[in-house]
Amino acid sequence: MTALELIRAFAHDTAVGIVVTEVTIDPPGPIILYANPVFSRLVGRDLDQIIGQSPRFMQGKETREETLDIFHRALAGGKRFHGYLTNYRGDGTKYRAEIDCRPLCDTTGWIEGFVAFEREVIRRVGRPASGAAGRYEPVGESSDPLAGILQALSVFGEA
């Protein structure tokens, strides 16, 4: 079973949006191969408007270029990106997205695509409930059993 088949099988009913792309990141890539229904609701678009596009369709005026550069460098280097971007829905409304994006590796360690766990974040006030470090767990780790399964199967490669 490939990582993508595994994700297709388990990503239907998750708490967070899940989106998988091909490995090629130069435009028109990274082409979206799969998105789950939660992702479709999050970005306010039907799946047939999402599959085959690049995730750039969510960008707009307030999407920070600096963060996109960091994102781009992480993807180009086959590294994980965990960060926050302003995304735009189909109806033009914006939201703050927490994105935990990781390479998907085959059994030989070759990167064959990327998966992102995405959710809307509401600006938090004060300190995290647990731990004084002031950081929250990345969305791909905290709430999603699928991330645990993929981790156990080593499909994320190196973090």
Ligand X SMILES: Cc1cc2nc3c(=O)[nH]c(=O)nc-3n(C[C@H](O)[C@H](O)[C@H](O)COP(=O)(O)O)c2cc1C
Q: Which of 99, 109, 119 is nearest to 30 (CA)?
A: 99
Residue 33 corresponds to which tokens in the numbers above? 């191969």
Name which position in 71, 100, 104, 105 contacts ligand X (CB under 6 A). 71
Residues in Cβ contact with 48 at an 8 Å cutoff, skipping those fewer than 6 apart: none
| Cα–Cα distance, 30 to 26 (Å, whole number) | 7
Q: Give the residue with the Cβ less far from ligand X, 60 or 126.
A: 60
- R_g (Cα) of the chain, nearest Å: 15
Q: Does 87 bind ligand X (CB under 6 A)?
A: yes
Site track 94-113 with ligand X (rule: CB under 6 A), x = hit: ---x-x-x------------
One-letter amino acid of 141? E
Query: Are the C-beta atoms of residues 99 and 58 closer than 8 Å to each other?
Result: no
Name which position in 59, 142, 143, 151 contacts ligand X (CB under 6 A). 59
Site track 120-159 with ligand X (rule: CB under 6 A), x = hit: ----------------------------------------
Question: Which residues in this chain contact ligand X in the complex, by CB under 6 A?
Answer: 19, 21, 25, 30, 54-56, 58-59, 63, 68, 71-72, 75, 85, 87, 97, 99, 101, 114-116, 118
